[in-house]
Amino acid sequence: MQLPPDLSNFVRDALSNGHSKDDIATSLACSNWTSQEIDQALGAWSVDEKIGTIPQPMRSSAAWDALFYALLFSAFGMVIGNILTLIFGQITLWLPEAGDTYSSNGLRNLRWSMAALIIFTPAFLWLHHRDMRASLANSANKFGAPRRWLSAIAIFAAAIALLCDGIYLIYRFLDGDLTVRFLCKSGAVALVAFVVIQYFRQDRLEGKDLAQTSRGDRFLANWLSPSLALLVLGLSFWTIGGPAQGRMEHHDRLRISDTRSLARDVADCLASADKDVPDSLDPMTCAHNPHRLSGYASSVTYERLSQKRFQLCTNVEVPERAWTYGGELKGNRYCIDRTIK
């Protein structure tokens, strides 16, 4: 931690005036300087009877402090941001609205937030507890410029989020568009803002105020965000699924993509032949770019519906998560109809 200029100048002047280091330390302690700050300030100067006070070499750690706190607060921001994303996804899933185009298939995009929490939650916990140990060893660390600035910015952002949330909530109420889903999402924003303020509020407390904080307040500050991350992550694994579910959904996306590509190719192939739809056909014989298809393309089946209409179908493993744009689901089969013009 960089030594405050006022403290350094005071120690230099006091030593130059002939005061002992013990007297200086006693005076500084009465003014609420920490023992680490006092030792550092006294160690920054030596006294020579002929020359006077001599500055001792001091190695600044300001750059490393700024890097550490930037990493700490960035990790905290990633945890908070992805918690909010997952909460929004769960609210959208469990509280559908009329005309809602958001399906369970769209939840797979939330796996990015799940992956981010899996990485950043342990990283944040490690950085946070390392910071806590350093602060216990040297309470002056809590008052470093990088930490104070980043804490103030975070509290400012959380306060603005709360105010904007309240404004938008009142606007939706006045506009007659206040829904249960919107209320839940507004509550989620308020909860996350409270978590941020509670975490950084500890940095603003000093002396008696810090000593008077309850164990519950300290628990909320230290463990609320990781606990919320684990809760939301567990709920997301339950609703969205883990690697096995993701693998099946990926296979289904390949199958559906192949079926749609083959449907276009077969339609072009039959239209160019200027004939009726045949009774049987191997769709792969009409593929324009078979090298771009996956291995599931060979399982796509063909069926003649009429002289000018045919249907291609494929089996899917997770029909409730299948994206059916341009086709329809029939049980566990995804089918596309095409008409030859």
Same domain, 78 and 188: yes
- What pLDDT score was predicted for residue 251? 92
- What pLDDT score was predicted for residue 293? 94
Q: Which domain holds residue 285?
A: 244-339
pTM here is 0.75
Same domain, 213 and 330: no
Residues of the chain with pLDDT under 50: 207-209, 211
SS3 327: coil
With 0-12 CB in 10 A as exposed, 13-18 as middle and 19+ as buried, what is 238? exposed
| CA dihedral sign of residues 189, 191, 193, 196 | negative
- Among 241, 274, 298, the domain-final residue is 241
What angle do the packed helices 180-201 and 215-240 form, to 10 degrees? 140
Query: The tokens 């200027």 sit on which residue?
Result: 274
Same domain, 235 and 333: no
In whole angstroms, how large is the CA radius of gyration of the chain?
A: 32
Same domain, 68 and 213: yes
- What pLDDT score was predicted for residue 159? 86
Same domain, 67 and 35: no
- What burial letters (b/e) apply to 25-45, b meaning 16+ CB within 10 Å? beebeeeebbeebbebbbebb
End-to-end CA distance of the chain: 77
- Provide the domain count of the chain: 3
- What pLDDT score was predicted for residue 214? 55
Same domain, 248 and 125: no
Same domain, 205 and 83: yes
- What pLDDT score was predicted for residue 1? 56
Task: Note the pLDDT tens digit of each residue in 32-42.
Answer: 777 767 777 77
- Among 221, 241, 261, the domain-final residue is 241
- What pLDDT score was predicted for residue 217? 63
- What pLDDT score was predicted for residue 291? 92
Same domain, 216 and 138: yes
